[in-house]
């Protein structure tokens, strides 16, 4: 009859098993020992389970810190908006621009934290032919043989043994 012990590896769910694997590793145990004790097929299974748990925990911690920081920014925004309203009501016109700038900075920081800004588009207009021609020219300049399929405008590089290439059609990229 099977064990009813909650610590029996057969009765543990995967996340609890991974938590135990991680704790045993923190206690200085080897992956092979951990795998045997918790019923993993091999040491790599125990390692991968603990790594997944760490990755997930790290992600959850980052999300928690992000939420805390967003709350702080919300509170700073609320306080600054109230201050701006008081400045406007008291006609302290010289103090209004710095207060508005502070609100903009808070908003900018929140947008960055939460990933609200649209990504910057970078248009890279570079064709494959341009790259191949440039690569061939640079290879020729440093004394490497240029494979014919990459040579610019029929300019084929040397393919002699003095260039380190095999006559039997070996890889032209390997010297």
Whether pTM exceeds 0.85: no
Whole-angstrom Cα distance, residue 78 to residue 102? Answer: 11
58: tokens are 């790290």
Report the number of secondary-structure helices (H) and strands (E) in the chain. Answer: 5, 0
Q: What are the Cα distances from residue 142, in Å, to 111, 115, 136?
A: 48, 45, 10
**Residue-by-residue pLDDT tens, the chain, 175 positions:** 445 555 555 556 888 999 999 899 988 899 999 999 999 999 999 999 999 988 888 777 788 888 889 999 999 999 999 999 999 999 888 999 999 999 999 999 999 988 888 777 776 666 656 777 787 888 888 888 777 766 555 454 444 444 444 455 555 555 4
Q: For the chain, give percent helix, strand, coil, nearest 5.
A: 65, 0, 35
Cα 85 → chain centroid: 42
106 burial level (CB within 10 Å; 0-12, 13-18, 19+): buried
> 173: closest CA among 135, 145, 148, 154?
145
Asked if 149 and 155 count as a contact pair (C-beta separation under 8 A), the reply is: no
Positive or negative CA dihedral for 60, 66, 68, 71?
A: negative
Whole-angstrom Cα distance, residue 171 to residue 148? Answer: 12
């Amino acid at each position: 009859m099977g064990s009813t012990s909650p610590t029996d590896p057969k009765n543990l769910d995967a996340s609890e098993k991974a938590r135990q694997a991680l704790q045993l590793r923190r206690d200085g145990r080897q992956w092979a020992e951990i795998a045997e004790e918790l019923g993993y097929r091999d040491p790599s299974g125990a390692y991968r389970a603990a790594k997944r748990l760490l990755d997930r925990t790290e992600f959850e911690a980052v999300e928690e810190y992000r939420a805390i920081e967003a709350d702080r920014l919300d509170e700073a925004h609320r306080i600054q908006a109230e201050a701006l309203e008081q400045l406007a009501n008291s006609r302290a016109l010289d103090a209004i621009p710095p207060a508005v700038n502070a609100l903009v900075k808070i908003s900018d920081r929140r947008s960055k934290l939460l990933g609200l800004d649209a990504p910057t588009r970078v248009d890279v207009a570079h064709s494959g032919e341009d790259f191949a021609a440039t690569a061939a020219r640079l290879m020729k300049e440093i004394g490497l043989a240029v494979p014919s399929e990459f040579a610019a405008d029929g300019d084929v590089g040397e393919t002699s043994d003095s260039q380190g290439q095999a006559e039997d059609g070996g890889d032209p990229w390997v010297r």
